[in-house]
Amino acid sequence: MSTSRPRTKAGGPRVRVITTGGTIASRPDPHGTVSVAVPGSTLVDPTNPDMTVEVEEAMLVHSFNLTLGQMVRIAARVRAAARDPEVDGIVVTHGTDTMEETAYLTDLVLGAGPTVVFTGAQRHAGEPDGDGPRNLADALGVAACAGPGLGAVVVMAGQVHAARHATKVHTRSPEAFGSPGHGPIGHVHGSHVHVAARPVRPAGFDLDELGTLDARVDIVPAYAGADGVHVAASRAAGARGLVLEALGAGNPTPGLLRELRVCLAAGVPVLVTSRCRQGPAVPVYGSGGGATLAEAGAVFAGSLTAPKARLLLAAALTACPDPAEALNRIRPHLTW
């Protein structure tokens, strides 16, 4: 779709806003169900006195309906904007359910371009105390002044979170996002933006390597007594990689260990994350625990959450069909 270029005063930073739908662009229908209905062009005030704002509508969907292919399309729109020498910063409005995944995928393919700020809302546009306008104003401020090299970030409720660590921590509260174990890298107070730290960003991927990100990688949850049936089903479905959302520091159950060994012996890579929200997945325990799983060939994903580990492994397996090469490609990302 074409980009609208509203008339603003000359000078000041130029920020591209890419809209994708979500609660920030939703209103209730006559039955009270929240539905996507608001075009992206209506979200942004085109007369912002501090910057030139351009609006580009990429799609109009709830983020729980997004496919990996659509996330790649969003990342492609961001990359195109980032390559425009006149663009100083980029904002993406997005539903909060999968915002952390699209933001992380974008960060993996962004390189050293301008800062990309993802934002959304927990309260729809028809509510009198909706949080969308404030979040969008904060996002515009961060995009306009953060400069290049910050990568992709999530800005909600006045906090700036690095894409690598940002995760949705509450289903309803306006303070929907956090960075468990790390904390925000910055804050927004009115018109003042303070970025206290810049995240380490290992080399990612060229978006052209990823196609529609069609390498199937499944997430398998661990819970008391899990017998491995999910692992067997994923293997039968043709999964090229698996992510275990393990117990504690990275421990499987006996049933999961048995089935994961079968996958590893067949050359299917396994990344291990933790279902705990703080602390890394590390191979500590033997006797069938994480250390035993590591001995079988599983790779521990450090502080990455399972959804992000899945995206990282899917990207690597799409770009590098050889599993060993794919794992070598992602090891710099698997840190605490």
Q: Catalytic positions, please? A: 23
d(CA 71, CA 308): 13
What are the structure tokens assigned to 202, written together?
């290992």
Q: How far apart are CA 112 and CA 115, in angstroms?
A: 9
Q: What whole-number distance in Å separates Cα of residue 82 and Cα of residue 43? A: 21
Q: Helix or strand or coil: residue 92?
A: strand
Helix (H, G, I), strand (E, B) or coil at 108: helix
How many degrees, rounded to 5, is the angle at CA 87 between CA 85 and CA 92?
140
Structure tokens at 32: 């009270």
Q: What are phi and psi of 326, to 5 degrees?
A: -60, -45
Q: Hey, how many other C-beta atoms are within 10 angstroms of the C-beta on 237?
A: 9
* Number of neighbours of residue 106 by Cβ within 10 angstroms: 27
* Nearest Cα residue to 272 out of 245, 295, 291, 296: 245
**What are the residues whose beta carbons fall under 8 Å from the beta carbon of 134, sequence distance 6 or more?**
none
Strand 186-189 to 192-195 pairing: antiparallel
